[in-house]
Amino acid sequence: MVIISRPVLRDFIARYPLSANALNEWYNKTTKGDWGHFADVKQTWNSCDAIGNDRYVFDIAGNNYRLIAMIHFKKRTLYIRRVLTHKEYDTFNKRGELNTL
């Protein structure tokens, strides 16, 4: 997969250095993926959930962090929209704003 917006990962890692190993593992494993549909994503990342509007949530580091991405399967491209702590994710979710990220 082609991953767009890697600076989003770098910025998050700068704020939360303990996330570095898990996010780098996610990045390396995801770039090797060739996902044509959501079932392919689930084979690589079983903890990924579809949240609508072409957006998907990846649980990172045992659910400590959440990565929100938009995936265009035909283009084999993933756009990182946001990386959040679990607490930040819950705030967005309660406000019903996940699909706007």
Per-residue pLDDT of 32-80, as tens digits, reads 999 999 999 999 999 999 998 899 999 999 889 999 999 999 999 999 9
SS3 state of residue 96: coil
pLDDT of res. 10? 96
**Tokens 């929100």 sit at which residue?**
68
* Model confidence, pTM: 0.91
- Which residues contact residue 59 at a Cβ distance below 8 angstroms, ignoring those fewer than 6 apart? 47, 48, 65, 66
pLDDT of res. 99? 67
- Tell me the CATH class for 2-100: alpha beta
Query: In the chain, where are the structural domains located?
Result: 2-100
pLDDT of res. 90? 84
